[in-house]
Amino acid sequence: MTQSPAPAFSHSRLAGAALGAMCGDALGMPVEGWSHQDIERQYGRLDAFLEGRLEAGSYTDDSQMMIAILETLAQRGTLDPAYLAARFLALYEPRRGYGGRVDSIMQQLARGAPWDQVATDSWGNGGAMRVGVLGVYFAHDDQACCAAALRQCAITHTHARGLAGAAAQALSVALAARLGAAAKQPYCASLVNHVASLVEPIDSHTASRLRALPRIPRGDESQARRVLTSEYACDVSAPESLPPAIGAFLAAASPEQAIVLAVSLGGDTDTIGAMTGALAGAYWGLEAIPPAWLDRLENQEAGRDHVLRLCRDICGENG
């Protein structure tokens, strides 16, 4: 008998999104800032965790802030921004590679500044890199999903492009979880049009860059890389990193292929890998992520097993 797909909100898809993001983060960490040409020239197809500024299998600020979101959901049962800001500060380790603006925000929070008075006008992808798990949590309610994505982003970002990027990633993951649960194939036009229409009121430029995502044949990594790197800068800006992350997911036939392709695009590789990993994990589920990757993921006090426990606590009877 064929087993039915896991529901959109389930342990398989929440843990899939969380650990998928961590795998993309860890795979991309050693080549962050490299061009796609340099990655290919040095490694060919980069599909194994390597040592970089951190040990092989380590996560960066992307996953550390995502873990704070999971801890908030587990303890509060919703997206409580004041509690989340406190968890951001409690988990904060500068060695993970936080940007200068976030370092300043953490210093302000440590001095007692209110969570809603420390954000900067950043248009970067920091709000999007950490938000994927909210897409699974709110998979059946796009309005609540978008609102929660904006609330968590507003702790650090006020620019419309940063906010729209966070909303677009969360909404994309929510749709991926629903499609996976229904055993339906994701298609570029329908996914992009759905998400772009919802983020258009937040920022029309981000919506426009989403709509620019070309249709790419599934399974052809070389062609996908050529098309995506030609269209997008793959840098730290939300409008230039989120669409190629979605494109890598749509062009792939498995989480492994999606994450490898995302990292191969170069640029902000850990974040693009994390965003694609969240999409792939939400769609295919935890069971589809390569066991060799999961085995090598960082597993200290707030590592892989901690994340799995949080996902079980959050899902409860849906686990």
**CA–CA distance, 137 with 318 (Å, rounded to integer):** 11
C-alpha atoms less than 13 angstroms from C-alpha of 115 in its C-beta half-sphere = 15
Q: Quickly tell me which residue has 């795998």 as its tokens.
A: 23
| Whole-prediction pTM | 0.98
Give me the pLDDT at residue 3, please: 74
Amino acid at 253: A
Give me the pLDDT at residue 318, please: 46
Closest CA to 66 of 8, 21, 7: 21
Question: Is the distance from CB of 176 to CB of 159 less than 8 angstroms?
Answer: no
Supply 275's token pair: 């965003």
DSSP, collapsed to helix, strand or coil, labels residue 54 as coil
Amino acid at 122: S
Give me the pLDDT at residue 1, please: 46
DSSP, collapsed to helix, strand or coil, labels residue 285 as coil
Give me the pLDDT at residue 217, please: 87
Give me the residues paired with residue 266 across strands. 35
Q: Phi-psi region for residue 157, left (φ > 0), alpha (ψ -120 to 50) or beta? A: beta
Supply 256's token pair: 């492994």
pLDDT in tens, the chain (319 residues): 457 899 999 999 999 999 999 999 999 999 999 999 999 999 999 999 999 999 999 999 999 999 999 999 999 999 999 999 999 999 999 999 999 999 999 999 999 999 999 999 999 999 999 999 999 999 999 999 999 999 999 999 999 999 999 999 999 999 999 999 999 999 999 999 999 999 999 999 999 999 999 999 899 999 999 999 999 999 999 999 999 999 999 999 999 999 999 999 999 999 999 999 999 999 999 999 999 999 999 999 999 999 999 999 999 954 4
**Burial of 95 per CB tally in 10 Å (0-12, 13-18, 19+):** exposed
